[in-house]
Amino acid sequence: MRNRRRNFTLVELLVVIGIIAILAGMLMAGIMYAPAKAQKAKAQAEITTLVNAIKQYESAYGVLPIPAGALEESGKPKDGKLANSDDSGTNYYKQMILILQADTDNSDYTAALKKKNKRNTKFLDIQGNESGVFTDPWGNDYNVYLDATYDGKIDLGSSSDGIPGLNATDNVYRYNVVIFCKGNDRKSSKTATDKTNEDNVYSFPTTWSSSTGHNISK
């Protein structure tokens, strides 16, 4: 008996084509999101590096690396964010980076800043061979909040804006250092649940919810 060659039916061909299309779509999605995931991982690593540098400075000097004139209100210390290049006025974030890098060859590393690091200890390595700079993978300064009152928490006050994207009662955070970056969209919002906050990266694990914003993982 002769063997008959079986041909694919149109339905079978369409099924095979459909499966190939689905697999190709999954592969393309993975390829498209890979760079974003890599950048997020890099941001998380850099945030950890910066937190460790601040903690090492605190361990060495007994205080946080807060530049003179920063985080004050009416001459008294006040918890809050170190102004960076996104804000008007003095860039205290850059001053803190200079203090931590202790690059004596940088003309921006003034005598006043050197007093904050009298031993010229390099707590933070210079990134990209550029002194006084420590930016996220998207080219923005990190946002650094510090406990300037040294009471074991960052209290921004219930009547003020909290840390963008974070869900916290009365804007109180049980850390003496909180750092975040705006992520791939380079945007953040004072409204915690705003979609622009979803890709924010913080100095601690969080879970995102469209109804509450980022919740601090416990």
User: Three-state SS for 97?
Assistant: helix
Q: What confidence tier does 126 reach under pLDDT thresholds 50, 70, 90?
A: confident
Q: Which of 185, 187, 153 is nearest to 168 (CA)?
A: 153
How far apart CA 80 and CA 151 sit, in angstroms, is 13
How far apart CA 163 and CA 52 sit, in angstroms, is 20
State the first-to-last Cα distance of the chain, in angstroms, to the nearest integer: 72
Contact 109, 102 (CB under 8 A): yes
**Does residue 107 have a pLDDT over 80?**
yes
For residue 4, count other CB atoms closer than 10 A to its CB: 6
Buried-exposed string 127-159: b where 16+ CB fall within 10 A, e elsewhere: eeeebbbbbbbeebbbbbbbbbbeeeebbbeee
Q: pLDDT tens-digit profile of 6-53?
A: 566 777 778 888 888 888 777 776 665 667 789 999 999 999 999 999
Contacts of 114-122 with C-beta under 8 Å, sequence gap 24+, read: 116/65, 116/67, 116/68, 117/57, 117/61, 117/65, 119/60, 121/57, 121/60
Q: Tokens in use for 68?
A: 């003179």
0.75 cut: is pTM over it? Answer: yes
Side-chain half-sphere CA neighbours of 9 within 13 A: 3
Contact 108, 130 (CB under 8 A): no
Contact 124, 109 (CB under 8 A): no
Q: Please report the pLDDT score of residue 66 as a whole number.
A: 98
Side-chain half-sphere CA neighbours of 146 within 13 A: 25
**Does residue 5 have a pLDDT over 80?**
no
Q: Tokens in use for 125?
A: 């390595």
Q: What confidence tier does 136 reach under pLDDT thresholds 50, 70, 90?
A: very high
